[in-house]
Structure 1
Amino acid sequence: MYLQAKRLLKLALSPVLMLLSLFSTGAWAEQAERWQTNMTPGITEVGHQIYDLHMWVFYICVVTGIVVFGVMFYSVFAYRKERHQEPATFHENTRMEIAWTIVPFLILLFMAVPATKTLIEIYDTDDADLDILITGYQWKWKYEYINPDGDNVSFFSNLLTDGAEIANTEDKGSNYLLEVDEPVVIPVNKKVRFLVTANDVLHAWWVPALAVKRDAIPGFINEAWTKATETGVFRGQCAELCGRNHGFMPIVVNVVEESEYEAWLGEKEAAAAEIKELMAKDFSLDELVERGKSVYTSACSACHGANGEGGVGKAIAGSAIATGAIREHTDRIVNGVPGTAMPAFGSQLNEVDLAAVITYQRNAFGNNMGDMLQPVDIYNFKKGQ
């Protein structure tokens, strides 16, 4: 009797326990309590619909559990052997079998109708005011604002958390591992469609407050959308185990008024135009080295060391690549090394930064090769591939 009651208890509790385990993933929502286990409504109408649906299903599970427990405990205590109850001899009860078939069907129906409506709303990406292409890299995000009437604006978003916090030599900030150098900026009360893909391995773009979570799969584009009703800063993370630095590719979205968004977009377009002008410029060695040092610090030092001494990646100081043929060095930086942790930076950095970082690597860390590349050399290299 005890084992039978235990099995019934586990069966009755299983839906509730499963839901609670799923709800616990909401703990990274913006300003959520450390031990919060429930979902948050977020700042979108769809997010509130998801939250309401979640609570509706939860209450149904609670009521179902109470009813099942009530019948089970009443049966266990009212008809136990110690009370000298005579066991029933019936084998079948048609009415009971019909009841326990119809009632669960109706319960599922009550859950399925609102769930279907919400799912249809979640996947309705039509009539968007803005399209943003999101590409996951190991371990950063690239954002490209698609402009059908002109040039697209694109940039990479990298982790900004200080290395000393990660190494536990300094106290961790309130947004530990949730800070980036370039946040996504979107206008409030505008429907934004996200086109999500990946360049290397599986990633997942997840921002709980925006009610968005989509897998980023190489070779595929998945769609999602949001329409924020409040301004503010909202954070998320990559939600798919994607390698060694999976925990170091956060997401930050700034929701701003439309006028502020237009101003920000204008600045980005001006910066892109400046890069085009720099493409035609001949830089001095000192200018390239100075710019290349900044690029190396943000893009290369995590793997190759702050002083080119190596680490996860091979050393730059005295390496055969950095002191060998400049074309092989360019090929390594632009195309990466397939099957290794060395990514292809040809699509991650513009021609100016590629020329600068290659020049820096060939002249820093004691390499002192004295040669350099101009942005046009990178352009011609890519064109000739």
Structure 2
Amino acid sequence: MNLKTMMTGLAGGLVAAPALAQELPVVGRPHQGGVGFQPAVTELARDLQWLDGMINVIIIAICLFVIGLLAYVFVRYNRKANKVPATFTHNSPIEVAWTIVPIVVLIFIGAFSLPVLFKQQEIPEADITIKATGYQWYWGYEYVGTDLAYDGNMIGSAATDGTYRKTPEAIAQLEEAGYSEDEWLLATDTAIVVPVGKTIVMQITGADVIHAWTIPAFGVKQDAVPGRLAELWFKPEREGVYFGQCSELCGIYHAYMPITVKVVSQEAYDAWLAASVDEGGYTDVRAVLTN
């Protein structure tokens, strides 16, 4: 059985069962009431989350020290305890200390943060290159080196007044695409599909105004500026579905410009890419996933 025949049969099975559950686990998404980071599934995300934790420890230590110092001064030098205030105006050791210590703290933070920044900006050789173009208000994707290109729009249609509502029709569209009601405002009708463990380079630009392409679980964010081509990279380590958003205010429907990335096995990716190129557009990746 050749690949095209196999894909046609699998796609037919999906049509017969439109409510098929998403075979890939949803890994990277926001949660109601959540205050922490999404799971880090790239080296970049782990570095950023560690850096954030380290800097928070420093900040908390400084805040506790300052609060303790203020409390001590309030108690030790209030009017009752210190009826005759001192008359000196300078204390050279203290002035030297409060100049040198912040410098040392900043150098220490920079010694850890700059390597992380450089790692983000030094683009490695790509296994797959994808161009993402921001439009008002959706993303267009092109797989560089292939004939595959498609757009990704949020699932759910705008009402007559231009607003988006979680209607029964929108929920039905989500379920048909393999998502749940919880993925409202997150899921798109198409997704970027990439293989696990491969270096992905995204070329980011904008077609009208400034947008920003962001996937929190990957630790990446890049402005999409019209007339410029910027790059970011990531190497996903876990199969699953990951959600992001346009992160630059880009107009009235900025809140309805989500991003979906599906990380699959190399075999599933190869089959999906071949089917999509053969069909001349995006093919539902569920057709090539196995339980």
Give the TM bin, normalised by the shorter chain: 0.7 to 0.9
Partner of 2:258: 250
Q: Could you list the runs of 5+ residues in structure 1 that have no partner in the other structure?
A: 1-28, 274-385
Residues 212-251 of structure 1: CA distance to partner in whole angstroms, max 9, x if unpaired? Answer: 1111111001110110010000001111121222222211
Task: Identify the residue that residue 111 of structure 1 maps to in structure 2.
Answer: 109
* Corresponding residue for residue 158 of structure 1: 153
C-alpha deviation, 1:169, in angstroms: 4.5
Letter in 2 for 1:184: I
Letter in 2 for 1:192: I
Deviations 1:260-309 (A, max 9, x none): 11111101110129xxxxxxxxxxxxxxxxxxxxxxxxxxxxxxxxxxxx
Paired position in structure 1 for 2:24: none
Q: Is contact 2:76–2:82 with CA below 8 Å preserved after alignment? A: no
The question of whether the paired residues in 2 share the 8 Å contact of 1:130 and 1:192 is answered with: yes
Among 253, 265, 273, the alignment partner of 1:265 is 273
- Secondary structure of 2:103's counterpart equals helix
User: Structure 2: how far apart are the matches of 1:110 and 1:271?
Assistant: 54
Q: Alpha carbons of 1:166 and 1:52: their partners in 2 closer, same or farther (altered >3 Å)? A: same
- Which residue of 1 is the match for residue 142 of structure 2? 144
Matched-pair identity in %:
34
> Which structure has more RCO (C-alpha within 8 Å, separation ≥ 6)?
2
**Do the aligned partners of 1:133 and 1:144 also contact (CA within 8 Å) in 2?**
yes
TM-score (norm 1): 0.60
* Cα distance between partner residues in 1 of 2:129 and 2:44: 18
Deviation at 1:168, TM superposition (A): 5.0
Q: What is the alpha-carbon root mean square deviation over aligned residues?
A: 2.0
Q: Is the 8 A contact 2:138 2:152 kept in 1?
A: yes
Cα offsets for 1:79-112 (capped at 9, x unmatched): 1002243212222111111111111111111101
Taking the aligned partners of 1:78 and 1:179, their CA distance within structure 2 comes to 59
- Paired letter, 2:107: L
1:144-164 superposed Cα distances (whole Å, 9 cap, x missing partner): 0111xxx43111111113558
How many residue pairs get aligned? The number is 242
Aligned partner (choices 119, 122, 147) of residue 120 of structure 2: 122
User: What's 2:83 paired with?
Assistant: 85
1:223 corresponds to: 231
SS in 2 for 1:81: coil
How big is each residue's C-alpha offset from its partner over 1:101-131, in whole Å with a ceiling of 9 and x where there is no partner? 1111111111010000100111111211111
For the residues of structure 2 that align with 1:161 and 1:107, how far apart are their CA atoms? 49
2:131 equivalent in structure 1: 133
Shift of 1:31: 4.0
- Structure 2's unaligned 5+ residue stretches are 1-26, 172-180, 282-291
More helix by share: 1
Q: How many angstroms apart in 2 are the aligned matches of 1:155 and 1:222?
A: 20
